[in-house]
Structure 1
Amino acid sequence: MSRLHVFAALGLSLLLTGCATAPAPITTHEHAPLLPSTLFPGDAEAFTAWRCSPDQGVVTAAAAEDELRVWSTHGAWRLTPAVVAGGERYEQGELSFWRTADGAVVESPRGRLMCQASMRRLALTREQRPGVMFHARGNEPGWMATLAHDRPEVLLSLDYGSREQRLPYRVIQMDNEAGRVVLASGRGDTPFELRIEARACFDDMSGEPFPARVTLSVEGEQYRGCGQGIAP
């Protein structure tokens, strides 16, 4: 998928210069739109959470030995394997992720991060979430948002499931390079905005890792949580 930004502290923001595409205009779809690939695990079966020093959180998803997808608080990238004497090393340009028996090292021209795996979570599948293309959730109060895979429709479940609405939506921003999507209600009488960004996200109760940060704005309230794209 697209590239991975790891940390402003390492100066990797320079890698993004000039890479973002212009936001798409407001569009409507008869069918569900294709979401940025950086919101999905690809062929990986699980996500791994890493805690790094200096203090950072990173999420990875490894698809066999073909690639390593990495998410940080600033973006998402895809690294490819490199030949090393020991461990597993993945690179993109001058950015690398080197996994060894003791943990992992993230390197850039500006510095190095020492990381330890803290948690592993199996990726959601279509079998677990039939008909769902993207699933998001948050806590306090508990909420969920699920995008249908075949039509522009979202199921919003708020206040621990006590309020549910199934609503059409329209795309008001789609930036595949940055891994950013903004959706708005397709009905004037029930406004909402759902903002999805490819960023390392950790459930604030369980600590489970996800590849997307999600913000839902509805009825004057704002809900924050994590999400994951679900491949067919």
Structure 2
Amino acid sequence: MLLAGCTSLPWSQDAASGTDAGQPPLKVPAPAQDPGPVVHEVAKKPAPPSAESLGKAAAVTLPSNFLPPPRASEYQVWRCTPAQDLLMAFSEGDSEASHDWLRLWSRRHAYTLERVVSASGERYQANAGASPAEKASGDVKALPGEEGLEVWFKGSEAMLQNARGNLECVQDDRRVIHPTTQKPLLVAQGNEPGWQVSLDSEHNLLTLTAMQGLLELPHEAQASERSAEAEAGARSSGVQVVKLPYRVAREANDSRVLKAQLPADGKQGEPLQLVVAPGACFDSMQGAPYPLTATLTIAGQELKGCGEAFRYQSAVE
């Protein structure tokens, strides 16, 4: 029963008609979805620097054709006809006459020859220790020019022959093998502009010395890497010295490719690359002989030079 003077309640009409003129239907919000457990991401710690990046990894290994024979005391230059310059180093025994084998460097290759019996003079042959079966089977891989390679010495003259022909040679110059007190693994150098790269014998560290202007390094970046003695020497001689860790980009029997990064304003600097390979090389200013060719590339600038690796006597030699 409705009370007198009262009208129906507003929602009574909604209930009857299902809608209210002029008003939209009420929207019931959907129930909120459970977000699930909150996972807090833990910041990852940066990986510690590698031994290689710190210059504490092992030094690059060098193939035997980079090195002089055991106990070799000098490099000898032999001028040959037709025009070709060769470099040789002999393995020395207890006396000057007892050479067991020699290493011979042409412009592009290094050969190992063993001493064989000779009625006169001294004769050396490539692969002299290989058996006929090994030679026939092809197990002995010959370098270009190595097939039939033989050198016959008579005093300061020599006859070299291989499958390609003969060379008549005379000894012309020599250079004593004399490593520095720092005992580097390898040293490469060039001229105009002057530069030198020395490899540490234990770790993957190189020391680059260059004429002022070749390296555009800030003083602060260099100072942290220099010793007081090297810094004083650099100021007086007009050179820059910096130590860098390197990585080995390629290891092949005929070459080694090393790469490093120069520091600059605390950021990644210009790339540096050193390529060394066996081959008779002669200093562009003094003509001194070396058994390795070297190419240093800094920020795209390619510099040619020569180099040598060192063999240090041990208790077993």
Percent identity, aligned pairs only, is: 34
Alignment check: 8 A CA contact 1:49 1:208 kept:
no
Residue of structure 2 in register with 1:69 after alignment? 103
Q: Counterpart of 1:35 in 2: which secondary structure?
A: coil
Of structures 1 and 2, the one scoring higher in RCO (CA 8 A, sep 6+) is: 1
Task: Report the alpha carbon displacement of residue 186 of structure 1 after superposing the two structures with TM.
Answer: 5.3
Alignment check: 8 A CA contact 1:131 1:150 kept:
no
Task: Report the alpha carbon displacement of residue 110 of structure 1 after superposing the two structures with TM.
Answer: 2.2
Q: Distance in 2 between matches of 1:189 and 1:83?
A: 57
Moved over 6 A (4+): none
Residue 134 of structure 2 is aligned to residue 87 of structure 1: no
Q: Cα deviation per residue 1:161-190 (whole Å; 9 max; x = unaligned)?
A: 6122211100011112x2x10001156424
Out of 147, 150, 153, the residue aligned to residue 99 of structure 1 is 153
Alignment check: 8 A CA contact 1:124 1:228 kept:
no
Out of 155, 159, 169, the residue aligned to residue 115 of structure 1 is 169
**1:62 aligned partner, one-letter code:** F
Q: Distance in 2 between matches of 1:102 and 1:39?
A: 25
**2:173 aligned partner, one-letter code:** M
Alignment check: 8 A CA contact 2:186 2:309 kept:
yes
Going from structure 1 to structure 2, the CA distance change for 1:102 and 1:135 (only over 3 Å counts) comes to closer
Alignment check: 8 A CA contact 2:274 2:297 kept:
yes
Q: Distance in 1 between matches of 2:157 and 2:211?
A: 39
Higher helix share: 2
**1:196 aligned partner, one-letter code:** V
Residue of structure 2 in register with 1:221 after alignment? 301
Q: Cα deviation per residue 1:6-29 (whole Å; 9 max; x = unaligned)?
A: xxxxxxxxxxxxxxxxxxxxxx58
Q: Counterpart of 2:185 in 1: which secondary structure?
A: strand
Which deviates further from its counterpart, 193-202 or 135-144?
135-144
Alignment check: 8 A CA contact 1:184 1:193 kept:
yes
Residue 107 of structure 2 is aligned to residue 32 of structure 1: no
**1:124 aligned partner, one-letter code:** H
Residue 257 of structure 2 is aligned to residue 182 of structure 1: yes
Alignment check: 8 A CA contact 2:279 2:292 kept:
yes
Higher strand share: 1
**2:251 aligned partner, one-letter code:** M
Q: Counterpart of 1:38 in 2: which secondary structure?
A: helix
In structure 2, stretches of 5+ residues that fail to align are 1-51, 93-98, 128-147, 213-237, 263-267, 313-317
Residue of structure 2 in register with 1:150 after alignment? 202
Q: Counterpart of 2:107 in 1: which secondary structure?
A: coil
Q: Distance in 2 between matches of 1:222 and 1:156?
A: 15
**2:73 aligned partner, one-letter code:** E
Which deviates further from its counterpart, 183-192 or 49-58?
183-192
Q: Distance in 2 between matches of 1:46 and 1:102?
A: 15
Out of 268, 290, 314, the residue aligned to residue 210 of structure 1 is 290
Residue 107 of structure 2 is aligned to residue 55 of structure 1: no
**1:183 aligned partner, one-letter code:** L
Task: Report the alpha carbon displacement of residue 137 of structure 1 after superposing the two structures with TM.
Answer: 1.3
Q: Counterpart of 1:66 in 2: which secondary structure?
A: strand
TM-score by length of 2: 0.60
Residue of structure 1 in register with 2:141 after alignment? none
Task: Report the alpha carbon displacement of residue 102 of structure 1 after superposing the two structures with TM.
Answer: 4.4
Give 1:193-204 correspondences, 5 Å limit: 193-204=273-284
Task: Report the alpha carbon displacement of residue 84 of structure 1 after superposing the two structures with TM.
Answer: 1.2
Q: Distance in 2 between matches of 1:142 and 1:86?
A: 46
What is the number of residues matched between the two proteins?
A: 201
Out of 233, 245, 261, the residue aligned to residue 168 of structure 1 is 245
Q: Distance in 1 between matches of 2:190 and 2:261?
A: 23
Q: Cα deviation per residue 1:107-145 (whole Å; 9 max; x = unaligned)?
A: 0122100111111101132xx241410011111222111
Q: Counterpart of 1:130 in 2: which secondary structure?
A: coil
**Structure whose CA Rg is larger:** 2
Q: Distance in 2 between matches of 1:129 and 1:115?
A: 35
**1:84 aligned partner, one-letter code:** S
**2:102 aligned partner, one-letter code:** L
TM-score by length of 1: 0.81
